[in-house]
Amino acid sequence: MPPPYRAAVIGLGRMGSTFDDEIERGGSIFLPYCHAPSYHAAPGVELVAGADIHGEQRHIFGERWGLGAGTLYEDYRDMLAAEQLDLVSICTTARMRSQIVQDVARAGVKAIWAEKPLSLTLAEADAMIEVCREHAVALAVNCARRWNPHFSEARRLIDSGELGDLLQITVYAECGLSHNGSHAIDTIRFLAGGDIEWVFGELESDEVALSEGDPRGNGYLAFDNGVRAYLRSTPCGAASWDVDVIGTEGRIRSVSNGMEIEYWKLCAGGPRNQRIAARFPFPLPARMQGMGLTIVSDLIGAAEEGRQPLCSGEDGRAALETALALRESHRRGGIKVRLPLEDRSLGILSSEIGQDGVPARVRRVQAAAAPR
């Protein structure tokens, strides 16, 4: 047996450690999901260290995962110097993510599992990807629906031809285009199976489009393989986090963030004996593995085999670039904007950095305790 992979987490808050405690029912998330619980449960992996500038975060992390004070660091650079690490998760605010990813890649690790959005600007994303490439470090971005069994099975059905020729994908997801929009855009790209050539975009207002903030918006996406897609991230009413995939022979629809999966295929019958869509059981796996375990396994495989993870740094950059292209389309009067974008200084201040001086876990505890 090879020695265990030594794993560490930078940023010991919600996604780094405690997010799984918030999940009380099924849907699009299968546990373990976030970083520390996944390393703790993964075979052949040992969670050995963590780093966070907030002392309370370090204390909670150490108590929860059985790590002593000597393996918990205020400065992640001290951790990189002291520990021999194979896998490192980066769950800090996106404001700091680009520099940390580059430092970790230069420290000799095998693989990095970074939170989304990958970065605030395209230039930052370019630098992260280049440094990881130079040092042969596998970089995965946590747009986690690629590792979700529902969407993995949908992709398998598409690849096997069960839906015929893929025509259109529609995603309804009220969110900022950078923060949780990373999930929505990456889900479209994963299911479409191609690269986006151009977009039309409409943001929630002209004022928002001119700002550097994290806008909600709607978009039309044209892929190089002929697939077309619609994204609605403005208010979605009763269709929040719905995904609709339509082919010439079938259709898959994920409802209410994965609470129900519909699978339709054209069959003989119907008026004048024309074919009609009939609903079939969606073929789910016999066992639902925790998504974090799937991610860790893929991350190790990518590092050992010299391949890209299922959601790579390039995929994370493409999600940000698509969001920026939608904003640029609105800014320029609703014109067609082609990818890639020439101006690499463009960026979006992801909504999750707005209060990043206080950990998200602490903000949630404070909000729950506030009088109503």
Residue 228 above 80 pLDDT? yes
- Look up tokens 């949908």; give the residue: 154
Please give the domain boundaries of the chain with CATH numbers for all domains. Answer: 5-145+291-311 (3.40.50.720), 149-281+319-338 (3.30.360.10)
Print burial letters for 263-298: b (CB count within 10 Å at least 16), e (below 16).
bbbbeeeeeeeeeeeeeeebeeeeeeebbbbbbbbb
What pLDDT, on a 0 to 100 scale, did the predictor assign at position 28?
Answer: 80
Which tokens belong to 35? 């970083």
Tokens of 137: 């470090």
pLDDT of residue 161: 97
CA gap 12, 73 in Å, rounded = 11
Residue 175 DSSP one-character state = S
Residue 347 DSSP symbol = B
User: What are the tokens at 231?
Assistant: 């994204």
List the 196-203 sheet strands across, edge first: 276-280, 260-267, 250-255, 242-247, 166-172, 228-232, 217-223, 196-203, 337-338
Residue found by looking up tokens 């040992």 in the block: 46
Dihedral over alpha carbons 33, 13, 140, 263 (to 10 degrees): 30
pLDDT score of 317: 98
Q: Is the pLDDT of residue 2 over 70?
A: no
pLDDT over 90 percentage in the chain: 88
Q: What is the mean pLDDT of residues 145-172?
A: 97
Q: Give me the mean pLDDT over the 10-39 stretch.
A: 93
Q: What is the pTM of this model?
A: 0.96
- Listed in sequence order, the residues at least 6 apart from 35 whose beta carbon sits closer than 8 Å to its beta carbon are 9, 15, 16, 17, 89, 91, 113, 292
Is the pLDDT at 333 greater than 50? The verdict is yes
For residue 269, what pLDDT is reported?
84
211, two tokens: 């700002």
Mean pLDDT of 129-157: 97
CB distance 312 to 139 below 8 Å: yes
